[in-house]
Amino acid sequence: MRPLDGVHVVDLSVARAGPAAVRLLAEWGASVVRVEIPGDVGGIAADHESSDYINLHCNKELITLDLKDTRGQEVLFRLLENADVLVENFRPPVKQRLGLSYDMISERFPRLVYASISGFGQDGPLSSKGAVDQIIQGMAGLMSITGEPSSAPTRAGIAIADMSAGNILANGILLALLERERSGKGQWVQTSLLEALISMLDFQAARWTVDNECPSRVGNDHPTISPMGTFNTADGYLNIAAPNDRLWKKLCEALGEPELLDDPDYATTSSRHRNKTQLTRVLENIFLTHTREELVAKLDEAGVPCGPVNTVAEAFAEPQVTHLGLVTAINHPVRGDVNVLRSPISMSRTSGVPKASSPLASADTDTVLQRLGYTADQVEKMRTDQVV
């Protein structure tokens, strides 16, 4: 048994954030029927054999359905009769036009957890505006604090807004399912890329909301602590963190540079940060005489947090990553055995390892429709009319 065995999810979402939320539910046992519109919708849904699609849509059944057709909507309603969760990311006007708003759906299915993910929220001045990850990174302030001080604002190297929003929505869905055990009622769970990324600012946001200090770009250095950042070595870059007096002493001793402890410019946490440019230059001159491996060995022994700046390939080759088993093999109907990421959550008795590959386009349409009570002739008629 997995934690979400017996939970039924209908996924109407496109792009990344919604499907990422549903992937988490599917990994932990939820039965998911993913609904895509007939034809090429572009983006991630366009290529069902791509690495991105395969990684994002494991453990899901897939049907195509034209929700503008009343017969397509009736199929959806049959799916919802047995569903616990509906996930969607339509813009508010689209939901209303299709007759699929929360008010309309909850009246018919009061136990349903209706989960919405959007760019900017379900109401307000930008609620109808489309959004993609990088746009949100800019609007949420993340790009303004990412990059070197002399560089242009820089985006994160991953779809951080999409993935944050997806994980937050999944948590909201689980909260709503837990609450339903007491109340017997579903409810509307909402988040947006903007809300998710603002929340991810965390201590940088608090510098503004509490201290009225607007953060700026500081490159790879920590904005308030030194030495804590990225340093060049004889053969690559290394991250080091010595944020307090105890670790600063350990760092100096491990490097064989005890005289640094007597330098008044570095005597306190505040003085080290105040003189961080000078301190960085001093430390990097030392680091350049050592390889990353040598430094990691010295600093690990001393208990100073450190680690190499890896490429993605090097990250997956890390012995600890291999030990944790973050990659698992599945069999794809076209690409054969491929490796995908498992859930980063571990439990003592239950597993979140993907059980089935992502499906090809329309792969489960006939199976799902027949399970809902449609005859083969009815399915064929809908296919002829491009309803499915």
pLDDT at 39: 66
* Mean pLDDT in order along the chain per 10 residues (388 residues): 94 94 95 85 66 91 94 96 97 91 96 97 93 96 96 96 98 98 98 98 96 95 92 96 96 96 94 95 96 96 97 96 92 92 90 80 90 94 92
CATH number for the domain running over 8-200+326-384: 3.40.50.10540
pLDDT value of residue 362: 82
pTM recorded for the entire structure = 0.92
Q: Residues of CATH 3.40.50.10540 domain(s) within the chain?
A: 8-200+326-384
Burial class from Cβ neighbours inside 10 Å (0-12, 13-18, 19+) for residue 2 reads middle
DSSP state of 360: P
Domain 228-316 matching CATH 3.90.1150.10: the answer reads no
Instruction: Report in angstroms the alpha-carbon separations of 279 from 235, 255, 287.
Output: 21, 14, 12
Report how far apart the first and last C-alpha atoms of the chain are (Å, whole number).
Answer: 33
Q: Where in the chain is the domain with CATH 3.30.1540.10?
A: 228-316
pLDDT of residue 45: 52
Please identify every residue annotated as catalytic.
Answer: 162
